[in-house]
Amino acid sequence: MQVKESYRTVLQQASDELVEKRSRFIATVKPVKTEAEALEFLEELKKKYWDARHNVYAYVLEENNIQRYSDDGEPAGTAGVPVLDMIKKEGLSNLIVVVTRYFGGILLGTGGLVHAYSRSAKLGVEAAKPVTMVLCREVTVLCDYSLLGKVQSEICAQNIIMGETEYADAVKVKVYVPETQVEKFIADMTDKTNGRISIEKGDIGYAKS
């Protein structure tokens, strides 16, 4: 599987609620990386909302480009598909959206259901805060206190993602550099400090930009 330089997902688990003609639509969204995680979360919500009429869901994963959805008893194409379409329209992946419906006694019709499920899912995603994850190399810069200002200035100038900073006999600054920019970052940092720093390259992973 080809590794992407970046992808959009959500930052955290969150939920939001919409009421349409007395029907309650509760959208719960969670970032996940595997199908097993998505299905486990779905089962948790089915137990939590055991008395609901429907637990509609859709999830999109980077892993094997998986896309799944379910109308969970709603008329075909009126629930799971709108949720999945919303996810794809927003360019999101590695997340699951579950929209729980408590029926309010008034039929919404096909168009009403599509609108309600799509809108509810969008509200849930907004609550979960969409973010862009960038494939980065963890890089640690070790420098004297006298160079810290210059190091931080160069990090800001290149829009590098900051990590933890440890203060001991020297300062250890952890940053996350897009993999395509690592060598340039190291060369520039070495040049700006006249080689008076130590740099260690760490593991590759995704970091929030």
Question: Residues 99, 170: one domain?
Answer: no
d(CA 125, CA 147): 42
Question: Residues 124, 141: one domain?
Answer: no
User: How many CB atoms sit inside 10 A of residue 201's CB?
Assistant: 13
Block residue for tokens 């006694």: 105
d(CA 100, CA 29): 11
Question: Considering the entire predicted model, what is its pTM?
Answer: 0.82
d(CA 189, CA 185): 6
What digits encode the pLDDT tens for the residues 86-135? 999 999 999 999 999 999 877 888 889 999 999 999 999 999 999 999 99
Question: Residues 82, 143: one domain?
Answer: no
Q: What angle do CA 147, 148, 153 make, to 5 degrees?
A: 105
d(CA 99, CA 129): 17
Question: Residues 140, 112: one domain?
Answer: no
The total of structural domains in the chain comes to 2
Structural domain includes residue 37: yes
Whichever domain contains 34, its CATH number is 3.30.230.30
Question: Residues 24, 97: one domain?
Answer: yes
Which among 110, 128, 146 is the end of a domain? 128
**Residue 1 above 60 pLDDT?**
no
- Give residue 5's pLDDT: 87
d(CA 133, CA 6): 5
d(CA 206, CA 175): 12
Range 17-41 average pLDDT: 94
- Give residue 2's pLDDT: 62
Which among 128, 158, 179 is the end of a domain? 128
- Provide the residue range defining the domain that includes 200: 132-208
**E strands, 144-184, where?**
161-167, 171-178
